[in-house]
């Protein structure tokens, strides 16, 4: 009985906090960033849980101390912010992979829980003469269009990096057992020919091994994507320099 009263009290207290969540500076930083980046979905926070527009909830921090690999394989929402995405860092240090950890259930919830569900939200975007598919959800496709407009201003010599892009594909991360951001229609790979991927240069290495950083994609391209809410695989120790991913929560203040 006593437990039940406590539970009821906690529940009503939770509702009170929820009403003030939008302006409460005591919210975890990551929650504030999620609310600002995904206003259509993330509506509030109470009792350690993020509240969605459909009334469902998701634990923000599971409280577990995770190793690098555990964080990559089963990130909660809080783990996505464990390494801050610093646009001043150009050559990443050991295991510096900002945004590479994704809370899969969060992305499934917003973009679709299956290949066909994700596909129902895809729209066509003009990519330098190529038609590519991208998620309309959260303004991702519109942000990609803004990227195209800005990339078009670069000298013609940059075009070779951009041609032959690929986007949606419901698949696991290369060499790993977790879903790639391409599965949600929020990632684009630019020209593979001028790109580098850590596993291609270091076959057989594990994620904990030391590798040598490599990148040929010009910084101007990277910075244009970032201005529109995309993170870049050029920033990662586990470099994937063709890869750009719509993750506005990592770029908002």
Give CA–CA dist 20/197, Å, rounded: 44
Nearest approach, Cβ of 205 to Zn ion (angstroms)?
Answer: 19
> By C-beta, is 118 or 187 nearer to Zn ion?
187
Q: In this complex, which beta carbon is closest to Zn ion, that of residue 75 or of residue 188?
A: 188
Show contacts of 16-24: CB within 8 Å, 24+ apart. Answer: 17/45, 17/46, 17/47, 18/44, 18/45, 18/46, 18/51, 21/45, 21/46, 21/51
Q: Closest separation between CB of residue 234 and Zn ion, Å? A: 12
Q: What's the closest the beta carbon of residue 189 comes to Zn ion, in angstroms?
A: 4
Binding-site ranges for Zn ion (CB under 5 A): 187, 189, 243
Nearer to Zn ion, 49 or 243 (CB): 243
The nearest distance, CB 180 to Zn ion, in angstroms, is: 7
Q: Of 68, 65, 47, 67, nearest to 57 (Cα)?
A: 47
Return d(Cα 185, Cα 246) in angstroms, integer: 9
Gap between the Cα atoms of 144 and 154, Å rounded: 16
- Minimal distance in Å, beta carbon 85 to Zn ion? 17
Nearer to Zn ion, 138 or 241 (CB): 241
In the sheet that 42-46 helps form, which strands lie side by side, from edge to edge? 42-46, 49-52, 57-59
Nearer to Zn ion, 189 or 196 (CB): 189
């Amino acid at each position: 009985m006593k437990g039940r009263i406590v539970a009821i009290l906690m529940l009503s207290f939770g509702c009170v906090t929820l009403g003030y969540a939008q302006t409460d500076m005591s919210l975890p930083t990551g929650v504030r960033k999620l609310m600002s980046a995904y206003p259509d979905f993330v509506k509030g926070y109470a009792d350690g849980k993020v509240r969605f527009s459909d009334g469902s909830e998701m634990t923000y921090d599971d409280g577990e101390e995770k190793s690098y690999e555990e964080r990559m394989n089963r990130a909660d929402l809080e783990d996505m912010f464990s390494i801050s995405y610093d646009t001043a860092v150009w050559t990443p240090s050991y295991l510096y992979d900002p945004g590479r950890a994704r809370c899969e259930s969060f992305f499934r919830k917003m973009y679709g829980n299956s290949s066909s569900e994700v596909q129902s939200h895809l729209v066509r975007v003009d990519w330098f003469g190529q038609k590519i598919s991208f998620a309309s959800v959260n303004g991702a496709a519109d942000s990609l269009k803004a990227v195209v407009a800005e990339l078009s201003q670069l000298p013609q010599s940059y075009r070779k990096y951009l041609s032959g892009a690929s986007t949606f594909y419901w698949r696991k991360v290369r060499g790993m057992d977790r879903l790639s951001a391409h599965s949600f229609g929020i990632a684009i790979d630019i020209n593979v020919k001028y790109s580098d991927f850590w596993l291609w240069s270091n076959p057989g290495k594990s994620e904990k091994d030391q590798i040598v950083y490599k990148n040929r994609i010009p910084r101007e391209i990277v910075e244009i994507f970032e201005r529109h809410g995309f993170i870049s695989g050029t920033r990662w120790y586990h470099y994937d320099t063709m890869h750009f991913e719509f993750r506005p929560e990592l770029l908002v203040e």
